[in-house]
Chains A and B, each alone.
Chain A
Amino acid sequence: MSNHLENQVRTCDTTGLPVCLTAQKFIKLNGVFAVIFLLIGAIAAVLLALTRWPAVHLLDAQWYYRILTAHGMNMLIFWILFIEVAILYFACTTLLNSRLFSKKIAWVSFVMMLVGAVMVNVIVFIGKADVLMTSYIPLLAHPVFYLGIILVAVGTLIGVYNFFATVYIAKRDKTYDGSVPLVVFGAIAAAIIAVVTLLHGAVVMIPTFTWSMGWTAQPDPGWYRLIWWGLGHQSQQVNVCAMVSVWYLLASLTTGAKPLNQAVCRSAFVLYILFINLASAHHLLVDPGVGAGWKIWNTSYAMYLAVLASMIHGFTVPASVEIAQRAKGYVRGLFGWLTNAPWKNPGFSAFFLSLVIFGFIGGITGVTLGTQQINILAHNTLRIPGHFHATVVGGTSLAFMGLIYYVVPLIFQREFYARSLAIIQPYIFGIGIVMLSFGMSFAGSAGVPRRHWDVEFTGANLAAGFDSGTHLWLGVMGIGGVLAFIGLLTFILLTVAAVFFGKSNKGRAMTPWATPKTLVTEGDVDATEDHRSPGTMTLVIILLVTFVVYYFANWLALTDVWHVR
Chain B
Amino acid sequence: MIRREVRHLYLHKGTLFATLTFFALSLFCVSLALGPEEKILRLTTPALCWILAILTTLFSTPLLLKDEAQQGLLDEILLQPLLPAFTLLSKIGAESLLLGFPLIIFGGLFSPFFALSFSETLTLALTLLIGFPALSALGILGGLLTLNTRGGGILIALLILPLTLPLFLLSLICMEKVRLDLDSLPPFCLLMGVALLLTIISVSAGSWALRFAVEE
A and B held together in a complex: no
Instruction: Please report A residues at the B interface, Cβ cutoff 8 Å.
Output: none
Instruction: Please report B residues at the A interface, Cβ cutoff 8 Å.
Output: none
